[in-house]
Amino acid sequence: MGNEGAKDLAEAAVSKARSAGAAYAEARVQSNWERQFVLKNGESQPSFFAEGYGIGIRVISRGALGFAATNDMRRANIGELAKKAVRLAQASSVVLKEPVALDDSKPARRKWAPPETRKVENADSGWLRKVLLDVEGRIADGKAGVKLPGRLLYLGAELEERYYVNSDGARVEGRLPRIGFFGSLTAVEGGDTAQRFIQQGETGGLEVVKRVRLVERVEEDARAMGKVLRTAAKPPADTLDVVLSPELSGIAAHESVGHPQEADRVLGREGAQAGESYLKADSLGRKIGSAEANVSDDPNLPHSNGFVPVDDEGVETKKRFLIKDGVINEFLQNRTTAREFGLRSNGASRSVSFNREPIIRMSNTFVEPGDYTTEELIREVKHGVFFKTFTEWNIDDKRLNQRYVALEAYLIDRGELKGLVKSPVLEITTPKLWGSVKARSKHMEFESATCGKGDPMQGAPVWTGGPETLLAGIKLGSR
């Protein structure tokens, strides 16, 4: 972060914690900067910017984990806080049955930053507003072929800078710029309404807006809403094939593969909040899907919303092959869970702010591409439904029973896309979903999302994505 004072404070915190009795200590000085602008039905809302700066200290002492954070950056205060983290960890031993230990991952020592053509710091209120007005200009006053009386458009520019140090020798400096859009569109036609929530974002600078075709994609979504309201018919109720778009493939990969394969959930650490997992520690190698079911998580995808080349435990990240040819292949691991599995961390530990403990997170989770073109895949379907976009979705806390309600969905008849169908519901178990995968296209797309986990809650930027995915023999419901 180019601030030698911050580096000294981090080093001092680790040193103070070690001398207070910590077997292991780490410190992360992190700054978060963001600017936001909002248009509500075309009206400018007050501009907003925020800047946060502080230190998070994590220690292991007598087998217990302690975390402490503050934005009072006086050296003496940080020293006292480091000692407090050690003391609180030691005091918790009355309820400690499973001591914490770390794997022997190689400590990273480097700087990192994604490519950035136009620095994110140049995103002032005027630029943010102009982008939103461009969006507004495409969809207001019925310009997208539908009345949209509810339009809430948000654009934000963020910069995270961190300096991380641990007592195993890691020294990591990272810069993470990001542009993110969120839109809530409410369409009305003939007394009926439809709603679409759109999220777009990538790491990088101001160039992100053009790269993701933000203005064009919001307009396309708005046009589709009008068609849904005007023409969508009741979906078929018999057993059929379902083609999931990249958007649907991505959310299914995230919810029913990524989450249950977080090793902390498998081991029960998130039991009281986001829940545990239908998978157990001995589930590696279990067949869960067809040979066509292949799902991965890759923190190093260029421009990705979940770009993390070195994690918040100072470990170099790598691609994780979560499901390979239908078999549970790998869990997302940090240094403590990896130690319990007798493995090395695959770099899945992330924290969103200085005041949050790093925990296991996904990055960019996706269905791997196949070898069909999209057209060839659709031609495989005699009778089916193509889920293009979704609205409501949820899943149980073991990640076994999930539901996706489509907004834009089409009937497929003898290999051709036909008319729109209204709100088909895919409510399905995880083994059934991944066991039904028959084919995948080679056309890949990614959506940005914010993944919620942890206590206190941490909203982590991720990508979800994949190709068109063909599921055979599915029963749908309707809303």
Using CB under 8 A as the binding rule, the residues of this chain from 82 to 121 that contact another protein are 84-85, 88-89, 91-98, 100
Give the long-range contacts of residues 13-16, CB within 8 A, separation 24 or more.
Answer: 13/55, 13/57, 13/78, 13/79, 13/81, 13/82, 14/57, 14/82, 14/165, 14/166, 14/167, 16/78, 16/79, 16/82, 16/83
Task: Select the span of 3-11, 165-173, 378-386, 394-402 touching another protein (CB under 8 A).
Answer: 394-402
Task: Select the span of 16-24, 69-77, 161-169, 240-248 touching another protein (CB under 8 A).
Answer: 69-77
Give the long-range contacts of residues 208-216, CB within 8 A, separation 24 or more.
Answer: 208/178, 208/179, 208/303, 209/131, 209/179, 209/181, 211/303, 212/181, 214/131, 214/135, 214/181, 215/131, 215/134, 215/135, 215/138, 216/138
* Whether the Cβ atoms of residue 355 and residue 318 lie closer than 8 Å to each other: no
* Out of 3, 283, 300, 391, the residue judged to bind another protein by CB under 8 A: 391
Q: Does 392 bind another protein (CB under 8 A)?
A: yes
CB nearer another protein, residue 444 or residue 474: 474
Q: Does 53 bind another protein (CB under 8 A)?
A: yes
Interacting residues of 165 by C-beta distance below 8 A, sequence separation 6+: 7, 10, 11, 14, 26, 27, 28, 171, 172, 314
Least spacing, CB of residue 117 vs another protein, in Å:
23
* Whether the Cβ atoms of residue 126 and residue 163 lie closer than 8 Å to each other: no
Ranges within 23-42 binding another protein (CB under 8 A): 38, 40-41
Least spacing, CB of residue 268 vs another protein, in Å:
5
* Out of 3, 15, 47, 199, the residue judged to bind another protein by CB under 8 A: 47
Q: Does 455 bind another protein (CB under 8 A)?
A: yes
* Out of 45, 199, 283, 374, the residue judged to bind another protein by CB under 8 A: 45
Ranges within 412-431 binding another protein (CB under 8 A): 423, 427-429
Coil, helix or strand at residue 25: strand
Least spacing, CB of residue 237 vs another protein, in Å:
11
CB nearer another protein, residue 76 or residue 94: 94
R_g of the chain computed on alpha carbons: 24
Least spacing, CB of residue 241 vs another protein, in Å:
13
> How many chain residues are in contact with another protein, going by CB under 8 A?
89
Task: Select the span of 11-19, 160-168, 268-276, 408-416 touching another protein (CB under 8 A).
Answer: 268-276
Angle of helix 214-231 relative to helix 125-139, nearest 10 degrees? Answer: 30
Interacting residues of 293 by C-beta distance below 8 A, sequence separation 6+: 323, 325, 326, 434, 435, 437
Task: Please report, in angstroms and rounded to a whole number, the separation of the first and last CA atoms in the chain.
Answer: 50
Q: Does 272 bind another protein (CB under 8 A)?
A: yes
Q: Does 46 bind another protein (CB under 8 A)?
A: yes
Instruction: Give ∠ CA 92-95-98 in degrees, rounded to 5.
Output: 100
CB nearer another protein, residue 97 or residue 414: 97
Other C-beta atoms closer than 10 Å to the C-beta of 94 total 6
Q: Does 355 bind another protein (CB under 8 A)?
A: yes
CB nearer another protein, residue 53 or residue 341: 53
Least spacing, CB of residue 240 vs another protein, in Å:
12
* Out of 19, 50, 75, 230, the residue judged to bind another protein by CB under 8 A: 50
Instruction: Give ∠ CA 442-417-201 in degrees, rounded to 5.
Output: 50
* Out of 170, 395, 421, 470, the residue judged to bind another protein by CB under 8 A: 395
Give the Cα separation of 231 and 42 in Å (integer).
28
The helix or strand, by DSSP H or E, that contains position 87, with its residue range, turns out to be helix 75-91
444-465: buried (b, 16+ CB within 10 Å) or exposed (e) per residue? bbbbbbebebbeeebebbbbbb
Ranges within 277-336 binding another protein (CB under 8 A): none
Q: Does 475 bind another protein (CB under 8 A)?
A: yes
* Whether the Cβ atoms of residue 82 and residue 60 lie closer than 8 Å to each other: no
Q: Does 476 bind another protein (CB under 8 A)?
A: yes
Coil, helix or strand at residue 316: strand
* Whether the Cβ atoms of residue 439 and residue 370 lie closer than 8 Å to each other: yes
CB nearer another protein, residue 275 or residue 415: 275
Ranges within 171-230 binding another protein (CB under 8 A): 184, 186, 193-195
Q: Does 474 bind another protein (CB under 8 A)?
A: yes
Task: Select the span of 136-144, 219-227, 266-274, 362-370 touching another protein (CB under 8 A).
Answer: 266-274
Angle of helix 75-91 relative to helix 4-19, nearest 10 degrees? Answer: 40
CB nearer another protein, residue 212 or residue 244: 244
Ranges within 120-149 binding another protein (CB under 8 A): 124-126, 129, 149
CB nearer another protein, residue 129 or residue 361: 129
Q: Does 49 bind another protein (CB under 8 A)?
A: yes
* Out of 324, 432, 442, 443, the residue judged to bind another protein by CB under 8 A: 432
CB nearer another protein, residue 231 or residue 394: 394
Least spacing, CB of residue 415 vs another protein, in Å:
24
